[in-house]
């Protein structure tokens, strides 16, 4: 497991911020959606903003990886490139890897 460098942190932010902005992309918003659906999207956005904020403070890639992995399938898959980046750069222990 390598230490998260400034370069890694910038790369993770460059991957994750645009993905956060697309959680509520029009393809996920439908005409007959109810408030429960929108609240779910808002919760997913808030969760990931908070996770990225914690990461930016601590530079703990394992905590960020865990926070993404704790989500439902759809938002977790939405952030697959972030998970893959963390794993490809060995920023967490290999026994924590989830991407193939």
Other Cβ atoms less than 10 A from the Cβ of 6: the count is 8
Is the pTM higher than 0.85? The answer reads yes
- For residue 37, what pLDDT is reported? 81
- Rounded-to-integer distance, Cα 35 and Cα 48, Å: 20
Closest alpha carbon to 79 in 39, 27, 23, 33? 23
More confidently predicted of 84 and 32: 84
- For residue 38, what pLDDT is reported? 81
List CB contacts of 2: < 8 A, sequence separation 6 or more.
89, 90, 91
- For residue 40, what pLDDT is reported? 86
Confidence of residue 73 (pLDDT cuts 50, 70, 90): confident
Whether pLDDT at 31 is above 80: no
51 burial (CB, 10 Å; 0-12 / 13-18 / 19+) is buried
């Amino acid at each position: 497991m390598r230490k998260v460098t400034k370069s890694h942190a910038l790369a993770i932010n460059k991957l994750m911020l645009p993905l956060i902005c697309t959680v509520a992309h029009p393809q996920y918003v439908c005409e007959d959606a109810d408030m429960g659906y929108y609240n779910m999207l808002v919760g997913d956005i808030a969760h990931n903003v908070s996770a990225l904020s914690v990461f930016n403070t601590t530079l703990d890639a394992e905590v960020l990886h865990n926070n993404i992995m704790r989500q439902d399938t759809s938002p977790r898959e939405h952030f697959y490139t972030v998970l893959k980046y963390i794993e490809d750069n060995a920023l967490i222990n290999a026994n924590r890897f989830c991407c193939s």
